[in-house]
C-alpha cells in the first residue's frame, strides 16, 4: 500500500491513511510505503539550492520550517508522553543531520548530485518515522524499516535504478518474516542507497516505483497506490473538471499514459507489476469507498468491463518546447538522422515526440533542456527554429489500434486550435498533438467532450465520488 504526499500531508490525512491500513490488515498484512508529506520534497530541494548558493540563513530558516511541520504532526498524532518525546527526538535527529549537510554544502559552496539525493531523502525518513510511531500508538504492531538498507541501487544519483537481484534477496529476507509474524511494515518510497552506503533516489514521483518493486519481489496479491483522486481518470481533473474515473485499464494503456505525462503514476511503476501480472489499484485516500481504477491484464477482469469506445484517457504534458530542424542536405542522404540525434545524446537530452519529412525534423524536448547548446550544435547542420511554451496532448486507448476514424474525430474537435505538430506512437495506442501553451485547456476540453460525452452508461467510466 503506497500513500502519496497529499494522502499523508496533514495529521488528519495521516489518520485517514492509518484507518485504511488498519482495515486492510483484516484481509492481509500490508507493507506500507510512504512518500514525503506533500510539499516537503520540494522544500528540501529549495534548501539544497540555497545551501549550494551559500545562502546559509535562508537554508536554515527553511529547515526550521521542516522541523516545525513534523513536530506539528507528532503533537496531534501521538498522545503518550514517552512516545511523543521519543518521536520528537527522532525528528530532531533527522533535522540535525539535515543541518549538518546544509552547513557542509554551504562551506564547500557546491551542491553535488550525491548531496542532493541526501537532502531529498529526509522527507520520506520523517514521514515514515511519524507514521509508524502513530500506528504503534494506535495499538498496531507496526515496524519501521530503513529502505536504504534493502533497496541497493546503481550510483546514478537522482535517477538511480535498483540492482534487482540483490534487492529482491534483501527484501524477501527482511520483510517476509515480519509479515508472517503479522507485523505491518512501514517504509520509505523513493530512496535507496549504493552498495557503499551513499543515499540515492529513484526520480521524482519514485515512491510508486518502490511500491511496485516491493509488490513484485514479495509476490504480493495486489499493489495499491493511494492518492488524492478517484484513480486514473479520463484526463487530469485539474485540466478537465468533469473528468471521470476509469474503472479498468490494461497495463499497456496505463504505462503509455504515465509516460505521456499523467502524473498519477510514475512511468516505471507498471513494469515490475506487469512482469508478474500483479494487479495495480489506484485508489482515493480521501474517499476510500470509491472503486478507483484497476490496472490489469487479467482477461476475466477486462472482459467484465469491455469497452466499445475508442479512447480511454487523454494525457497532457506542459512545459515543452518544439525544435524544428530543416536541411536540404537530408534529401536522399543516409546517416543524417543519426547525426541529429547524436547532438541530443551528447547533451543528455531526452527527445519526446518526433515527426519527420524528407528534409525536416520536428521534435519536442522539455523546456528545461539546454536549448542554447542544442541550437548551436544543430545550426552547424541546418536551419533551426524553436517554439517555446507548447504542450503535448496524447489521446490513448488500446482500441485505437483497430479502429477507424480516430484522426478525423481528433481534428474536428481541434477546429479552433492551432496544432503545431502531430505524431502517432509506434505502439499504435496513442495519437500525440502539440499545441501552444495558451491553447491547452481549450484543446483538451474539446477532445474530452468529443470522446467522452455520451459514455456515461458504458460502465467503465464513473463520475468521481468527490471532486478535487
Q: How far apart are CA 110 and CA 103, in angstroms?
A: 11
Q: How far apart are CA 255 and CA 314, in angstroms?
A: 13
- Residue 238 binding ligand ADP, by CB under 6 A: yes
- Residue 267 binding ligand ASP, by CB under 6 A: no
Among 1, 3, 5, 296, binds ligand ASP (CB under 6 A): 5
Among 214, 233, 255, 440, binds ligand ADP (CB under 6 A): 233
- Residue 232 binding ligand ADP, by CB under 6 A: yes
Pick between residue 90 and residue 317 the one whose CB is nearest to ligand ADP: 317
Number of residues located near ligand ASP, criterion CB under 6 A: 12
Ranges within 25-64 binding ligand ADP (CB under 6 A): 35
- Residue 205 binding ligand ASP, by CB under 6 A: yes
Answer with the entry of ligand ADP, ligand ASP, Mg ion, none that 267 interacts with (C-beta below 5 to 8 A by kind): none
Q: Of the ranges 187-195, 202-210, 386-394, 439-447, which one interacts with Mg ion (CB under 5 A)?
A: 202-210
- Residue 205 binding Mg ion, by CB under 5 A: yes
Ranges within 41-70 binding ligand ASP (CB under 6 A): 41
Number of residues located near ligand ADP, criterion CB under 6 A: 19
- Residue 127 binding ligand ASP, by CB under 6 A: no
Pick between residue 4 and residue 432 the one whose CB is nearest to ligand ASP: 4
Q: Of the ranges 138-146, 161-169, 229-237, 247-255, which one interacts with ligand ADP (CB under 6 A)?
A: 229-237
Pick between residue 127 and residue 423 the one whose CB is nearest to ligand ASP: 127
Query: Is 336 within 8 Å of 329 (Cβ atoms)?
Result: yes
Answer with the entry of ligand ADP, ligand ASP, Mg ion, none that 123 interacts with (C-beta below 5 to 8 A by kind): ligand ASP
Amino acid at each position: 500500500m503506497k500513500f502519496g504526499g497529499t494522502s499523508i500531508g496533514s495529521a488528519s490525512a495521516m489518520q485517514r491513511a492509518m484507518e485504511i491500513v488498519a482495515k486492510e490488515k483484516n484481509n492481509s498484512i500490508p507493507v506500507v510505503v510512504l512518500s514525503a508529506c506533500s510539499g516537503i520534497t520540494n522544500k528540501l530541494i529549495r534548501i539544497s539550492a540555497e545551501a549550494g548558493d551559500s545562502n546559509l540563513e535562508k537554508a536554515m530558516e527553511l529547515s526550521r520550517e521542516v522541523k516545525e511541520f513534523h513536530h506539528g504532526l507528532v503533537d496531534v498524532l501521538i498522545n503518550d508522553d514517552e512516545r511523543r518525546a521519543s518521536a520528537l527526538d527522532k525528528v530532531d535527529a533527522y533535522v540535525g543531520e539535515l543541518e549538518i549537510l546544509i552547513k557542509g554544502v554551504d562551506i564547500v559552496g557546491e551542491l553535488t548530485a550525491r548531496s542532493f539525493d541526501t537532502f531529498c531523502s529526509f522527507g520520506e525518513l520523517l514521514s515514515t518515522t511519524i507514521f509508524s510511531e502513530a500506528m504503534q500508538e494506535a495499538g498496531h504492531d507496526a515496524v519501521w524499516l530503513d529502505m536504504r538498507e534493502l533497496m541497493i541501487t546503481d550510483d546514478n544519483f537522482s535517477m538511480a535504478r535498483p540492482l534487482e537481484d540483490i534487492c529482491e534477496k534483501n527484501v524477501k529476507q527482511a520483510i517476509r518474516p515480519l509479515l508472517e509474524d503479522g507485523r505491518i511494515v512501514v517504509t520509505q518510497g523513493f530512496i535507496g542507497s549504493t552498495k557503499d552506503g551513499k543515499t540515492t533516489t529513484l526520480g521524482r514521483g519514485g515512491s510508486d516505483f518502490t511500491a511496485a518493486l516491493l509488490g513484485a519481489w514479495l509476490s504480493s496479491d495486489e499493489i495499491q497506490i493511494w492518492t488524492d483522486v478517484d484513480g486514473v481518470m479520463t484526463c487530469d481533473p485539474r485540466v478537465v473538471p468533469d473528468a471521470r474515473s476509469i474503472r479498468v485499464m490494461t497495463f499497456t494503456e496505463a504505462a503509455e499514459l504515465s509516460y505521456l505525462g499523467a502524473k498519477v503514476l510514475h512511468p516505471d511503476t507498471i513494469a515490475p507489476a506487469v512482469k508478474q501480472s500483479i494487479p495495480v489499484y489506484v485508489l482515493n485516500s480521501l474517499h476510500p469507498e470509491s472503486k478507483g481504477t484497476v490496472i490489469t491484464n487479467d482477461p476475466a477482469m477486462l472482459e467484465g468491463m469491455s469497452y466499445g469506445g475508442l479512447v480511454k484517457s487523454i494525457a497532457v504534458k506542459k512545459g515543452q518546447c518544439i525544435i524544428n530542424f530543416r536541411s536540404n542536405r537530408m534529401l536522399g542522404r543516409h546517416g543524417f538522422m543519426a547525426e541529429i540525434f547524436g547532438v541530443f545524446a551528447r547533451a543528455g537530452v531526452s527527445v519526446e515526440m518526433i515527426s519527420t519529412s524528407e528534409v525536416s525534423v520536428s521534435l519536442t524536448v522539455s523546456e528545461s533542456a539546454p536549448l542554447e547548446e542544442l541550437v548551436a550544435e544543430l545550426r552547424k547542420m541546418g536551419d533551426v527554429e524553436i517554439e517555446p511554451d507548447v504542450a503535448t496532448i496524447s489521446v490513448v486507448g488500446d482500441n485505437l489500434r483497430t479502429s477507424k476514424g480516430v484522426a478525423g474525430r481528433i481534428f474536428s474537435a481541434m477546429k479552433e486550435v492551432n496544432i503545431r505538430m502531430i505524431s502517432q506512437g509506434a505502439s499504435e495506442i496513442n495519437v500525440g498533438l502539440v499545441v501552444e501553451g495558451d491553447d491547452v485547456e481549450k484543446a483538451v476540453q474539446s477532445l474530452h467532450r468529443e470522446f467522452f460525452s455520451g459514455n456515461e452508461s458504458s460502465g467503465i467510466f464513473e463520475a468521481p465520488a468527490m471532486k478535487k
